[in-house]
Structure 1
Amino acid sequence: MRSRELDPSASPLDYYGYELRRARESAGLTLAQLGAIVFCTGSLIGQIETAARVPQRDFSERLDAALGTDGLFSRLVGLVLRSQLPSWFQPYAELEARAAYISTFQAQLVDGLLQTEAYARTVLGLRDRTDLDSRVAARLERQRILGRDEPPATWAVLSEAVLHQEIGDRHVMREQLAHLLTMQHRSWVTVQVLPFSVGAHAGLMGSFALLRFEKDPDIVYSEDFVQGHMTANPQAVKEGSVRYDQLQAAALSAEDSAALITRVMKERYGNEPTPRRDLA
């Protein structure tokens, strides 16, 4: 049966599938032959070529090695995964990737840039598990900006409630808190915890983020239960900046925050990892 023809201009996913088929056929390989080389089934190759499945980064890197495509698919997969983010969030993700400074306050959850895969899977799968693998991969793809040679300076203030709100299970939470401690060792990442003892604080209205750029206007971003809201309005940015300064001042130092994270991790989630439930 003739496989359907893709319009490469329809979406990043269609373009990826179109280029994959073209590269495979140029190499004289069948679906099964290429699948054997990159350690997957020929059926999976066919599904990606017809835009029925979303490719992952490790798969793309193996394709480049197998087909000698000089990093083509490793570059394309970033666009593909970003296209899997909610449509209302994509403009923010594009700006986030260009920001020189990222400052976030989170009242209930670990910020997406600092989430582990298991934590992200639990959060994203709470209400809808459709295409969950692709949505998790898209969130993890956002985090690649922190590993760049020149990453954005990233500052996260987390309510202490974030540490105690058990997402997934004890193993997931222990892994997540350990990851926060690891991120603290990165020179461009700072994590502070806003303790319960502060009482009323400048973040009571909810989570928000500030993006600063080398040349473009600053952005303030917030979300409700439906979608996100982004503005460069100078008064809104000024208000967000003042609130964030107040939160930073009220939060524990990075060192004391790490000590609190460590204590909660041990006391609430155990010294040893607990058997992990299947979250897939």
Structure 2
Amino acid sequence: MESRWELGALPQRRTSLPTEIAASLAARIRSGEIPPGTRLPSEPQLAQSMRVSRNSVREAISVLREQGLIETRQGIGTFSLDPSRDAYFPVDVGIEGLTSTTEMIRRAGHKPGTRDYQLQTGVGDAPARRQLVLPPDVPMHLLERVRTADDLPVILCRDYLGQSHVPARVMAQYRGDESLLLFLQRECQLKVQTARADIVPVLPTARVAEFLGVSRRRPLLALEQLHYDAGGSPFLYSENYFNLDYMGLHVRRTPVR
């Protein structure tokens, strides 16, 4: 189905231009103005119609793809998808890219937030210590917080770091309401180069269920992830528990060449 709608210029923006473009197109797709199966105009056509650069359009298209609102068929074009999945998962995110939870929620078109932030130092969680290859005498930080999307409790994040990487005085400056990855990069020059992630179905413990407000019989998905720096050394181990009452995960797959 070819597109038959006019976009026009964007209003005066208050956020980044690609975010504004993505939000404008997402609203048209969700409202039905752009029906499922519609072939979107090409990037040059969108850029001309909206009076923006092609780079901004390209970034916006990437955001919409992560939101599950469009798909690109190689050699054919970009098409809108049925947004009715949102009725089942108000927050639907792609997990292909290595991004912070904050950015993941934002790129899915929602407002990220934090509640119930707690920091403990000196914890002795043996599995996390093994993952981080920490000697027994090195204290470890544990950060716990509930991440929200438009005030919905979507993820319980547990992050483990050794004091050998992040001193206690630095960790005390973190307040839980910004991207931990950006904080570590800014304050400790620790930048994630790669990560190993495992996705595991779990039943919540009493503590996890209380944080997310779910029944202990309600299955969750746990994303267990070990982050490595440029030298290949692990410095951050994370356990993220996804609340499936509100959140869906998807992966965009392409043919193996």
TM-score of Structure 1 vs Structure 2, range by shorter chain: under 0.3
TM norm structure 1: 0.24
Which structure shows the bigger proportion of residues in strand conformation? 2
TM-score, normalising length from structure 2?
0.25
Which structure: greater helix fraction? 1
